[in-house]
Amino acid sequence: MEEAGRGVQPNIGRTTVSSIIQTFRRENRIERQPRGGGSGPLFTPQQEEAICAMVIANNAIKLREIQSTVIENNTVFGNIESVSISTIDRVLKKNEIRMKQLYKVPFKRNCGRVKEISHQYVQTLYRDLVPENERGGGQLSKYVVVWDNVRFHHSHLVREWFAAHERMLVEYLPPYSPFLNPIVEFFSAWRWKVYDRHPHEQMALLAAMDAACDDVTAESCR
DSSP labels, 146-163: EE---GGGGSHHHHHHHH
Examine the pLDDT at 6 and tell me if it is beyond 60: no
DSSP state of 77: S
What are the backbone angles phi and psi of residue 214, rounded to the nearest 5°? -75, -20
pLDDT number for residue 5 = 45
Q: What is the mean pLDDT of residues 133-153?
A: 73
CB burial of residue 192 (10 Å; 0-12, 13-18, 19+): middle
Q: Tell me which of 15 and 10 has the higher pLDDT.
A: 15
Q: What is the mean pLDDT of residues 201-210?
A: 85
Distance between CA atoms of residues 61 and 100, nearest Å: 10
Examine the pLDDT at 13 and tell me if it is beyond 70: no
Mean per-residue pLDDT of the chain: 78
Q: Helix, strand or coil for residue 51?
A: helix
Selection from 184, 180, 183, 186 nearest residue 122 by Cα: 180
What is the β-pairing status of strands 143-147 and 168-172? parallel
Domain boundaries, the chain: 1-38, 45-94, 112-176, 181-221
Selection from 96, 95, 91 nearest residue 41 by Cα: 91
Examine the pLDDT at 196 and tell me if it is beyond 80: yes
The highest-confidence range among 55-69, 91-105, 119-133, by mean pLDDT, is 55-69
Q: Helix, strand or coil for residue 43?
A: coil
